[in-house]
Amino acid sequence: MTTHPVMPAPVHYSPQNGHFELTESTRIHATGTALSVADHLAKALRPATGFALSIDESDNADAGTPNTIALTIGTTALPSPGYLLTVDESRVELRADDAAHLFTAVQSLRQLLPTAIEATTVQAGPWLIPGAEISDYPRFVYRGAMLDVARHFFAVADVKRYLDRMALLKLNVLHLHLTDDQGWRLHIDSWPDLTALGATTAVGGGSGGFYSKADYTEIVEYAASRFITVVPEIDVPGHTNAALAAYPELNADGAAPAPYTGIEVGFSSLSIDKEVTYQLLDDVFREVSELTPGPYLHLGGDESLATSDEDYLEFIRRATRIAASHGKTLIGWHEMGRSRDLPEGTIGQYWSFVTPRDDADKRVASFIEQGGRMIMSPADAIYLDMKYASEEALGLEWADGPTTLHDAYHWDPAAIVVGVTDDHILGIEAPVWTETIDNLRDLDYMAFPRIVAAAEIAWSPREGHDWAGFTQRLADWSPRLDAAHINYNRVSDVNWPAPADPK
């Protein structure tokens, strides 16, 4: 069993003799588009080391200068875009096919340093990096996490902390579930009451909240600086009580329902026959598309149990055309595959079980037949809002009871629907629905350590998956979470080291 300190497991890791010592006089070398990544590395290393770590951008820097960490963008000749990382006594070299993969190399380097590097205050060295040769590239291009900010609202600062955690694990897509029955969380200029009235509640009756356009842009830019794409979701036609409560005209009977603070699903629907519904969609999809630099717009489409079959198909036909007219590639939960009339290339997000139920496999086939690919999020394996164990206070249990770390690690995205293999799969995504979660500490607790399993399934080759090795590596790695003040669940299937002394 190979043990190494990098999560998710690299494709190839080979320890080498000796080590590189990061010192006061170590310099970082980078030019061109590698500079922003070098800057990120320096910022990550300065707080705990207290070193200046200046960035040398000179074009003609001697390639052999010692005591240097050199970042380069150039071909790696790996089977798909990735990075090479070598550490010897004199130099650390990071080379990647593009800036995004160079950034993932930086995450590996961070994890080769002593755990204390994650601290936010100056720590004692020495800062030794063990000799190593790593060549590494991801299995899937889409490595996502979803945060439901509708059931409970999460402030911009908390979303940024979650993005930091994602970056460490080489996750590169944040899907924001922005609207649901309990709240509409993004300001829309042309329909201001969506937030003025529709954002004032949350599950359990809390005060809610919403993102201004400036807030949303702040999230998008923070994500982009970490090579993370934001996917906004406007969930329609169901999951819309907050919008229906804000604008009576969106209701079939013209009467606004009361705000909703419970956790049932499947009772709300936009009026399918009224033209005002499609005016709303056009305005909302236009404004959201304008704010979102990434290529995707998620339309939800799940659990529309209050919409007849005929109405659902008519709605999806019109809504997807309107959304596509704003230039985005659409994503829908797998129910949207009921439609055989989707814009070509629409992506499906699978949320049924590791063993498909309720024709979910047919919905997947429908997306693929219509030229799309899949994001796999099987609820009984990767829904991070499921309880770890029945006696836990946080989480839900509907996906066949608790989801242990073992469950989170033991599934393969290409073994769920017969005939749906890596070529049809864009990637995987780990959602956190927030009916029972309303703060970052609890969010971390539900995510960690299962999100590490998700990251390994998204990134590392299937052949390398190994439960005994994973749990050993996780136990060795977990002090990093303590050092970074990230809360986590000490599930019983890992032989955790003793908890760090509380400071």
Q: Contact residues for ligand TNX (CB under 6 A)?
A: 265, 302-303, 333, 351, 383, 385, 396, 433, 435
Instruction: State CA 338 to chain mean position distance.
Output: 26
Nearest distance, CB of residue 430 and ligand TNX, angstroms: 12
Q: In what order do the strands lie in the sheet with 12-22?
A: 12-22, 127-136, 83-87, 91-96, 68-73, 27-29, 55-56
Task: For ligand TNX, give the closer residue by CB, 48 or 146.
Answer: 146
Nearest distance, CB of residue 383 and ligand TNX, angstroms: 5
Nearest distance, CB of residue 411 and ligand TNX, angstroms: 16
What gap in Å lies between CA 384 and CA 408, rounded to an integer?
9
Cross-strand partners of 96: 73, 83
Nearest distance, CB of residue 431 and ligand TNX, angstroms: 7
φ, ψ of residue 359 to 5 degrees: the values are 65, 15
What gap in Å lies between CA 67 and CA 91, rounded to an integer?
6
H or E segment at 184? strand 183-184
Out of 57, 303, 314, 392, which one is annotated catalytic?
303
Contact 204/233 with Cβ under 8 angstroms? no
Task: For ligand TNX, give the closer residue by CB, 360 or 455.
Answer: 360
What gap in Å lies between CA 87 and CA 69, rounded to an integer?
9
Angle between helices 156-168 and 213-224 (to 10 degrees): 20
Strand pairing class (83-87; 347-350): unpaired
Residue 303 is a catalytic residue: yes
What gap in Å lies between CA 45 and CA 42, rounded to an integer?
5
Tokens of 58: 């000179």
Place of tokens 């019109």: 318
Nearest distance, CB of residue 333 and ligand TNX, angstroms: 5
Nearest distance, CB of residue 363 and ligand TNX, angstroms: 12
Tokens of 104: 């993932």
Residue 362 one-letter amino acid:
K
- The secondary structure of residue 196, as a DSSP letter, is H
Task: For ligand TNX, give the closer residue by CB, 247 or 333.
Answer: 333
The three-state secondary structure class of 350 is strand
Contact 336/368 with Cβ under 8 angstroms? no
- CB under 8 Å to 230, separation ≥6 — which residues? 173, 174, 175, 176, 219, 220, 223, 292, 294
What is the residue-wise DSSP string for 275-313?
HHHHHHHHHHHHHHHHH--SSEEEEE----TTS-HHHHH
- Going by C-alpha positions, the residue among 131, 130, 81, 136 that lies closest to residue 107 is 136
CB-neighbour burial class of residue 412 (10 A; exposed 0-12, middle 13-18, buried 19+)? middle
Nearest distance, CB of residue 402 and ligand TNX, angstroms: 13
The three-state secondary structure class of 266 is coil
Nearest distance, CB of residue 142 and ligand TNX, angstroms: 17
- The secondary structure of residue 54, as a DSSP letter, is P
Nearest distance, CB of residue 334 and ligand TNX, angstroms: 8
What gap in Å lies between CA 276 and CA 250, rounded to an integer?
7
Counts for the chain of helices (H) and strands (E), in that order = 15, 17
Please list the active-site residues. Answer: 303
